[in-house]
Chain A
C-alpha cells in the first residue's frame, strides 16, 4: 500500500478480473446488470463472475450500490427496483420472468444485515421452510437441524434449548441461527449483506470463522464495509463506487496493490 501507484497518469480507471472458465468453476455471473429505483439508476455497471466455493467480498462506500447489487442476485429487489440485464446461474438467466423465483431462492439463500429470526422456536426457525416444502420426516428434520446448527457453529450452545424462542438468543447467536436457517435449505450460493455489522467484535469474529468453514460447501458472496474483514476472509474482492464496480481482483491484490486509484484511496481510508 506504500506504493504510490495512483500518482501515475496511466493508472486504469477500471480493472475487472475475468476468470478462465477452463480452470475455474463459475457459480454465478452477471452481465450488463443495471438497477433502477424509479428513474434513479443505482447500479450502472456490474459485470462480475463468482467462483464456486470461494468467498467474494463486495466493498465500497455507503450508497455505492453493494446491497442493490447483492439483492438483485436472488431477486429480492422484485417489486422494489427494476433490474435489467442477465444473471447467469447454471445456464439459466435467473433474471428472466420465466424463472420460478421461489424455487431459485432455495438455491441462492440470503442473510441480512440485522438478524431476523422468526418469532418461533430455534427448531421451528430452521424447519419451518423445509416443512412448507414437504419435508415431514421427523428424523430427517432433526438431522437437518443438527447439521445446519453445527455448520453455523452454534450446536453445542443451543442443543438443549431447541424448543425455546429464537428471540431470546443474543444478537450474535440470532445471526448465526439465520445462517443455519439459510443453509438448512442446502443452497448453492449464500448471499450475506453486512451480516456482522450489528454485532460486537467477538460475535463478528465467530461469524467470520463460520464463513471460512462454510466455503468448503457453499459459494459465498458477502457485502462488508469492514476492510479488515474483507481482507481476512475473502478470496476475491469487488470494489463498488457510485453504482459501478471499479475494480475486481483477488483479495490480496486489492488490499496490497490495487490498480485503480480510487480503490487505493478507499482502502487507505481516505473516504467512505
Chain B
C-alpha cells in the first residue's frame, strides 16, 4: 500500500468517525426535541407539577433551576475570578501553587454525585440547612468552582504578556494593570466560560438530588419577601429543579402522563442548554468584535 492510498483510507476513516459522532448527536437531539415538542405549551411551562393526575406543568421546577443557577453563580463567580487572577497573575511556580492546581484538577474530575453526597453530609445534615436552595447552591458551587476557575485562568493566560508590560511600562501597578488592562481584554472569553458553565450547572441533577431536594412545594409568586416560607426567593425552602424532576419522574413518577411530562421537560432542558451555548458564542464574538472593531 503506498502513502497515497494510506492517506486516502485514513481520511475516509476520520470522516466516518466524525460523521457518526454528528449523526449520534443529531439523532439524540432530534429524538428528545421531537418527542417533547407536543408538550411545549405556555401552560406546561408555567403551571405547577401534578403528582397523581395528568396535565401537570414544570413552572416551579423551571423557576427553581434558574434561581439555583443564579445563586450558584453569585457565589462561585467571585471566588473563581479571585482564584483565577491569583493563579495567572500573581502566583509563582512553587509547591503551594502546584498543590492548588492539582487540587483544582482533582475537584474538576470529581463525579457530581459525590459532590452531591458531600453536600448532603456537610450542608444538609451537619450544618442543618436541610434540603434547601442554599444547600443546593453551595453544592453547585463546589461542582462549578474548579472548572470556572480553570476557564477564567485560561482566559487571562490568553492575554499576551505584551499587554502586561505595556501597563507596567506606563508606571501602572500590577493591580491597576490586571484590573484595567487584562480583565477588560479578557471579558469576552471570561463571559463565554461563565455562560458555558451555566449550561452545565443548569442541567446538573446528581449534585442536587440530596441537597436542594426532590420536592417542589407550591410557591406564591405574589410574595417576594425571601423570609416567607412560600416566597419563591426563600433560600431555605426545598427546591426540585428541572433536571431533578426528570430523574424523579423516570424513577418513581406515578402521574398518568409521566412519559410525556418527562419528554417535555427533557426538551425544555436541552433547549435551555443549547440556548446557553449559542448565547455564549454570540455574546463572546460580539464583545470581542466591539473591542476590536473600527466602529467602536
Asked whether, in the complex, the Cβ of A103 is within 8 Å of the Cβ of B169, the reply is no
Residues on B with beta carbons closer than 8 Å to the beta carbon of A106: 170-171
Asked whether, in the complex, the Cβ of B165 is within 8 Å of the Cβ of A185, the reply is no
Asked whether, in the complex, the Cβ of A165 is within 8 Å of the Cβ of B292, the reply is yes
B158 in the interface, Cβ–Cβ < 8 Å? no
Instruction: Tell me which of A27-35, A44-52, A111-119, A235-243 binds B.
Output: A111-119
User: A19 to nearest B CB, angstroms?
Assistant: 27
B291 in the interface, Cβ–Cβ < 8 Å? yes
B295 in the interface, Cβ–Cβ < 8 Å? yes
Q: Which residues of chain B from 137 to 177 have a CB within 8 Å of any chain A CB? A: 160, 162-163, 165-173, 176
User: A65 to nearest B CB, angstroms?
Assistant: 18
Asked whether, in the complex, the Cβ of A116 is within 8 Å of the Cβ of B291, the reply is no
A163 in the interface, Cβ–Cβ < 8 Å? yes
Residues on A with beta carbons closer than 8 Å to the beta carbon of B226: none
B185 in the interface, Cβ–Cβ < 8 Å? yes
B296 in the interface, Cβ–Cβ < 8 Å? yes
A267 in the interface, Cβ–Cβ < 8 Å? no
Given the contacts A112-B165, A116-B166, A163-B296, A132 and B291 also touching, CB distance less than 8 Å: no
Residue of A nearest to B289 (CB): A165
Residue of B nearest to A104 (CB): B171
Asked whether, in the complex, the Cβ of B292 is within 8 Å of the Cβ of A116, the reply is no
B6 in the interface, Cβ–Cβ < 8 Å? no
Asked whether, in the complex, the Cβ of A164 is within 8 Å of the Cβ of B295, the reply is yes
User: A248 to nearest B CB, angstroms?
Assistant: 25
Residues on A with beta carbons closer than 8 Å to the beta carbon of B176: 132
Asked whether, in the complex, the Cβ of B185 is within 8 Å of the Cβ of A76, the reply is no
Q: Which residues of chain A from 106 to 130 have a CB within 8 Å of any chain B CB? A: 106, 109-110, 112, 114, 116-121, 128-129
Asked whether, in the complex, the Cβ of B291 is within 8 Å of the Cβ of A119, the reply is yes
* Main SS class of interface, B: helix
Asked whether, in the complex, the Cβ of A76 is within 8 Å of the Cβ of B165, the reply is yes
* Bound complex: CA A102 to CA B174 (Å): 9
Tally B residues with Cβ within 8 Å of A.
24
A142 in the interface, Cβ–Cβ < 8 Å? no
Asked whether, in the complex, the Cβ of B294 is within 8 Å of the Cβ of A120, the reply is no
User: Which residue of the partner chain, among B167, B169, B294, contacts A168 with CB atoms under 8 Å?
Assistant: B294
User: B284 to nearest A CB, angstroms?
Assistant: 14
B293 in the interface, Cβ–Cβ < 8 Å? yes
Asked whether, in the complex, the Cβ of A116 is within 8 Å of the Cβ of B162, the reply is yes
User: A178 to nearest B CB, angstroms?
Assistant: 7
Residues on A with beta carbons closer than 8 Å to the beta carbon of B30: none
A265 in the interface, Cβ–Cβ < 8 Å? no
User: A25 to nearest B CB, angstroms?
Assistant: 24
B181 in the interface, Cβ–Cβ < 8 Å? yes
Asked whether, in the complex, the Cβ of B170 is within 8 Å of the Cβ of A105, the reply is yes
Asked whether, in the complex, the Cβ of B181 is within 8 Å of the Cβ of A114, the reply is no
Asked whether, in the complex, the Cβ of A109 is within 8 Å of the Cβ of B184, the reply is no
* Bound complex: CA A121 to CA B290 (Å): 11
Residues on B with beta carbons closer than 8 Å to the beta carbon of A119: 163, 184-185, 291-292
Asked whether, in the complex, the Cβ of A118 is within 8 Å of the Cβ of B292, the reply is no
User: Which residue of the partner chain, among A74, A128, A167, contacts B169 with CB atoms under 8 Å?
Assistant: A74
Asked whether, in the complex, the Cβ of A164 is within 8 Å of the Cβ of B294, the reply is yes
A133 in the interface, Cβ–Cβ < 8 Å? yes
User: A30 to nearest B CB, angstroms?
Assistant: 19
Interface centre among A119, A132, A133 (most CB of B within 10 A): A119
* Bound complex: CA A111 to CA B100 (Å): 36
20 contacts between A and B (CB under 8 A): A76-B168, A102-B172, A116-B160, A116-B163, A116-B166, A117-B166, A118-B185, A119-B291, A119-B292, A120-B184, A128-B180, A129-B167, A165-B292, A165-B293, A167-B291, A167-B292, A168-B292, A178-B166, A181-B166, A181-B170
- Seen from chain A, the residues whose Cβ lies within 8 Å of a Cβ on chain B are 74, 76, 102-106, 109-110, 112, 114, 116-121, 128-129, 132-133, 161, 163-165, 167-168, 178, 181-182, 185
15 further interface pairs, Cβ-Cβ under 8 Å (given A161-B294, A165-B294): A74-B169, A76-B165, A102-B173, A105-B171, A116-B162, A116-B165, A118-B166, A129-B167, A129-B171, A129-B172, A132-B176, A165-B290, A167-B292, A168-B293, A185-B171
- Seen from chain B, the residues whose Cβ lies within 8 Å of a Cβ on chain A are 160, 162-163, 165-173, 176, 180-181, 184-185, 290-296
8 shortest interchain CB distances as A-B pairs? A116-B162, A106-B171, A168-B294, A129-B170, A110-B169, A105-B171, A167-B292, A116-B166
